[in-house]
């Protein structure tokens, strides 16, 4: 990493920290998203804690707690609004789960947190994940990464999107704290996404895999193996 890249990473880390603090304060003051005192360490969230409304997604806290302790969890951080991008990301996650080796766990951010869950749960998932895989798309760049969308009025932004922004911002913060060393982040770019959208900081200085073209290479890197499976249809 040259001096210019290092300075960019430092500035990104400072900006990311400010963003994370601003969004976290917004979450804390949002009555519809009570972070409370629940965590995976203090104990499971019961059905009464979660409430009875919006039962579309159910997070099995007990299972997740066990997996975070016993498996190498790979958290997939993504955001798509375009239907074609959604289909590509769905194919990616399906294949990662299909080829996931014993001892590993693929965790889709959309399946582990939603409007009913708590910020502390999302934070613990991030902290305890073995690797973080960022799935870059135009939607992810615009809604999660771009500084102009990360501050200001967040009243119309969903809790899950705010959580994604916090988690992405923290990847830069973590890289700064580790002396500009990327210890657990990987990035994959969905086909059709310009490489110019790669975020500054660690993501611009890390090998970027194109999906689906470089899927096998991505698997080799994630699972630390020489041989990896080929794409299958979902």
pLDDT band per the 50, 70, 90 thresholds, residue 139: very high
Q: Could you tell me the pTM of the whole model?
A: 0.79
pLDDT by residue (tens digit) across 31-62? 444 444 444 433 433 333 434 344 444 567 77
pLDDT band per the 50, 70, 90 thresholds, residue 162: confident
Given 3.40.50.10140, 3.20.20.70, 2.60.200.20, 3.40.50.150, which CATH number is that of 3-31+61-223? Answer: 3.40.50.10140
> Which alpha helices (DSSP H) does 137-223 contain, by range?
138-140, 159-177, 215-223
Tell me the C-alpha distance between 98 and 5, whole Å: 36
Residue 132, C-beta contacts closer than 8 angstroms, at least 6 positions apart: 74, 75, 77, 126, 167, 171, 184, 185, 186
Tell me the C-alpha distance between 37 and 210, whole Å: 40
Between 231 and 25, where is the model more confident? 231
State the Rg of the chain over Cα: 17
Instruction: Supply 96's token pair.
Output: 């990662």
**Can you give the residue ranges of every domain in the chain?**
3-31+61-223
Largest pairwise CA distance in the chain: 53
Tell me the C-alpha distance between 72 and 113, whole Å: 19
CA proximity to 16, closest of 183, 150, 154, 198: 150
């Amino acid at each position: 990493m040259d001096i210019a890249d290092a300075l960019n990473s430092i500035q990104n880390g400072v900006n990311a920290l400010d963003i994370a603090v601003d969004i976290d304060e917004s979450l804390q003051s949002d009555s519809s998203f009570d972070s409370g005192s629940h965590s995976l360490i203090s104990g499971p969230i019961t059905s009464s804690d979660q409430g009875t409304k919006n039962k579309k997604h159910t997070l099995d806290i007990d299972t997740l707690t066990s997996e975070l302790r016993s498996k190498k969890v790979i958290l997939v951080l993504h955001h798509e609004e375009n239907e074609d991008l959604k289909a590509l990301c769905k194919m990616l996650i399906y294949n990662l789960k299909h080829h996931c080796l014993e001892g590993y766990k693929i965790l889709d951010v959309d399946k582990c947190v939603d409007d009913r869950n708590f910020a502390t749960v999302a934070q613990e998932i991030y902290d305890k994940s073995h690797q973080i895989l960022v799935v870059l798309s135009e939607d992810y760049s615009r809604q999660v990464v771009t500084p102009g969308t990360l501050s200001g009025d967040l009243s119309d932004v969903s809790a899950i999107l705010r959580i994604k922004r916090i988690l992405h911002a923290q990847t830069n913060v973590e890289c700064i704290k580790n002396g500009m060393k990327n210890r657990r982040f990987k990035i994959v770019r969905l086909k059709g996404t310009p490489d110019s959208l790669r975020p500054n900081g660690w993501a611009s200085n890390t090998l970027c895999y194109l999906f689906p073209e470089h899927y096998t290479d991505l698997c080799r890197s994630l699972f630390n193996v020489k041989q990896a499976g080929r794409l299958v249809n979902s």
